[in-house]
Structures are given as C-alpha cells and as structure tokens.
Amino acid sequence: MSTPPNLIHAYRHLLRAGLRAVQFSQPSRSTITARLREGFRDPRGTFDAERVRRTVWFLNAAAQQRGLEHKILKNLCRVHWDRMRELRRMPWRVRVRSELEGKGKGGKKRVRDDVIKGTEFEHYERTIAMLNDSMQLCLR
C-alpha cells in the first residue's frame, strides 16, 4: 500500500516544526516523534490539510518565542512523557489485570475499588480537544 505524497509531506513538516519548537531537547524530541507516529498510524484518523497547516504555524510560533504557544507545547510534552513513564513503571501483570476490567472468580465482575482510576486525564484530554476545535489544530 503506497502512501500519498501529501501525507508524507505533512508528516515531515510537522516533525520538522515540532523538533524546532522543542529545540531538539531529548525528552520532548522523543515525545514529539512518538505522538506524531501514533497519530499518522491511527487507522481511524483523518487528514485535513488546513489543520496541518495551522498546526505547523502554531509550532513555528512556539519555536520563535517563549510565549503561550511554547508553554502549551511544553506542557503537552511533559504530560505525555509522565504518562508514558508511569506506564513503563507499571508491572505487566497490573497492566493486563486492568485491561481485563477486573473479572473475578466464576466470571463475575468485581467492583472496582477506585472509581477515579482511568479517568485522571479525561478533563485534560477534553481541554486539548476544545483547543483543537477552536483553533482548527491537530495537537495531541
């Protein structure tokens, strides 16, 4: 399956602008590349050239001066890095257990002890979604 050239160009423009915006610093650099790969490999994802163009403008503005755009990008990278680090620290048995949604013996579902677990970042993700909708961006 071949990839359309405009998709490749969009990926490269976003990667270049993102790396310039974080000044190639190590934790942010790996975060930017990971999120970008994840977004472009998503089979449910849609491609909107206008949103990509606006996102590149946003990243270029973040690279030029330490204003609001820079702070937003810095916080996005920090939150993603912390979430991935927390997942890496979690033992594989705990991850599998949480994915199975706590089934107990005999196939009965166990009641979760912590109702907040799994919803910690819900408000954060909604805020990013509203920012994307209002500014026509494609930040993750």
Q: What is the pLDDT of residue 91?
A: 76
Tens digits of residue pLDDT in 119-128: 888 999 999 9
Q: What is the pLDDT of residue 85?
A: 87
CA distance 112 to 101: 8
CA distances from 10 to 26, 32, 37, 47, 136 (A): 23, 14, 12, 9, 15
Residue environment code for 74-107, b if the CB has 16+ CB neighbours within 10 A, otherwise e: bebbeebeeeeeeeeeeeeeeeeeeeeeeeeeee
Question: Considering the domain boundaries, does residue 33 fall inside one?
Answer: yes
Question: Considering the domain boundaries, does residue 140 fall inside one?
Answer: no
CA distance 125 to 140: 8
| pLDDT at position 105 over 70 | no
Tens digits of residue pLDDT in 41-63: 988 888 999 999 999 999 999 99
Q: What is the pLDDT of residue 98?
A: 64
Residue 110 sits in which domain range? 5-135
* pLDDT tier, 139 (very low <50, low <70, confident <90, very high otherwise): very high
CA distance 78 to 43: 26
Q: What is the pLDDT of residue 107?
A: 53
Question: Considering the domain boundaries, does residue 39 fall inside one?
Answer: yes
> 2 vs 127, which has greater pLDDT?
127
Distance of CA 127 to the CA centre of its chain: 13
DSSP 106: G
Q: What is the pLDDT of residue 87?
A: 78
CA distance 41 to 3: 11
Q: How many domains are contained in the chain?
A: 1
